[in-house]
Structure formats: structure tokens, C-alpha cells
Structure 1
């Protein structure tokens, strides 16, 4: 898979916290991230969320209560997350999850800004 090389950090543990709706990922470089189910859902790498090119992203709304119902390992490079709203077409590679962890705050602020610009309440 493109993007994976010997420098890509590999998860040593992936833990789903059902109550707090957080996916906790610990990587072999010692970094640990907690990504909310809502965050992972609105930033799904699937075509139905991302669109088929730059600028074609579809703003995801009303995902505040979404949960991850199942985590399916895909080879040694990714997981497929099944969400409670039926969405399950995104493949989350290790480098994508690491990138999300590193950039979570900026990505989330941009998402909230897009909602505001669209006049949509996150609730």
C-alpha cells in the first residue's frame, strides 16, 4: 500500500472505549492518541465522505452520537471501522491514523469552522 514504508509507525495497541466513544491507539514510537468516534467518522477516508477529488469532500453532520461497533483488521497495514450509523467503507491505514493523531486539533477546528460556515449546529 502506498505511504507505508519502514518508517511508518505501527500500532502496538488499539483499544476501543465504548462509554467515552474513543479509539485509543498506541504506536511503536511511543506516541498514543485518542481519537473520538465522531472525529474518525467525519474524517472517514472513504470515497463517500472524501468525494473523488480535492474540494469534493462531503461535510458530515449529525455524527456526534456515532459509535464504532466493530474493528476489522485489514492485512498488516490498516483497519476497517464499522460505525453505528452503518458506515463501514473507510480503510484507516496506520499512517493515516498516525497523521490524524498528530493533526487532530487543527483538523477538528477546521471541521467546526466548516459547520459554522454552512450554518449547521453540531448538535
Structure 2
């Protein structure tokens, strides 16, 4: 899937993506940042050896606020956060998987609330 529209809802701290099949994913900014695919967050694997991420320091102001979103070819987006971090590329495939995960979690919560 490819996005048809990407919209930042600053007041809700949500990034909304409308895909080319008209499906909509709404991403909480905290979730996007905490699950960022960059090596400083997830670690990295080089020549089959995994290197864990460095220890996390205190959060900087603006950690969960988006300053800018840049398209990376036909592949995905790169988010520049207001704390200066712009590492990691969110591919379209990764965003679909993350959005589907949020949908599953939300549906499970609704099901549990209705029991």
C-alpha cells in the first residue's frame, strides 16, 4: 500500500495516514516515537551480530512532537522530531504493520470492555 494522504493532528498528537485503498491508520505520536525503527532505539544487526541500543538518557523536550515529515523516495517517510532526532525511516510496509497492530490492540480493548 501507498499513502494517499498524510495528516498531522497536533491537537490530538496523532499522525493519520489514508492509504490508496482508503483504509485509515491513526498513529499516536508517542507510539511512533517509542517504536522508531532507528538503531539508537532498536539496536542494529551487522554481519549477523546484534548490537543493542545505547542506554537511554532523560527525555528531551519535544520528544513526542513532530517538526517535519519528509518523504523518502517511494519507500516511506522520515520524521524529524522537535527534540532534534531524525534517525530511522518508517517504510510504508512498517507503517501498515504498526497501524494494524494498533487496530488489533484497540479491538481487543473494546472486546474486553464489552465482557
TM-score (norm 1): 0.69
Counterpart of 1:91 in structure 2 is 89
**Whole-angstrom CA distance in 2 between matches of 1:106 and 1:58:** 30
Q: How does 1:34-113 map to 2 (within 5 A)?
A: 34-53=26-45, 56=52, 66-104=64-102
Q: Tell me if structure 1 keeps the 8 A contact 2:65–2:81.
A: yes
Count matched residues.
100
Counterpart of 2:14 in structure 1 is 22
Shift of 1:104: 2.1
Matched position secondary structure for 1:48: helix
Q: Select the structure that is richer in strand.
A: 2
Matched position secondary structure for 1:16: strand
Q: Tell me if structure 1 keeps the 8 A contact 2:8–2:15.
A: yes
Provide the alpha-carbon RMSD of the alignment. 2.9
Q: Tell me if structure 2 keeps the 8 A contact 1:42–1:59.
A: no
Distance 1:105 1:30, change over 3 A: closer
In structure 1, runs of 5+ residues without a counterpart are 1-8, 109-123
In structure 2, runs of 5+ residues without a counterpart are 107-115
Matched position secondary structure for 2:15: strand
**Whole-angstrom CA distance in 1 between matches of 2:54 and 2:104:** 18
TM-score (norm 2): 0.73
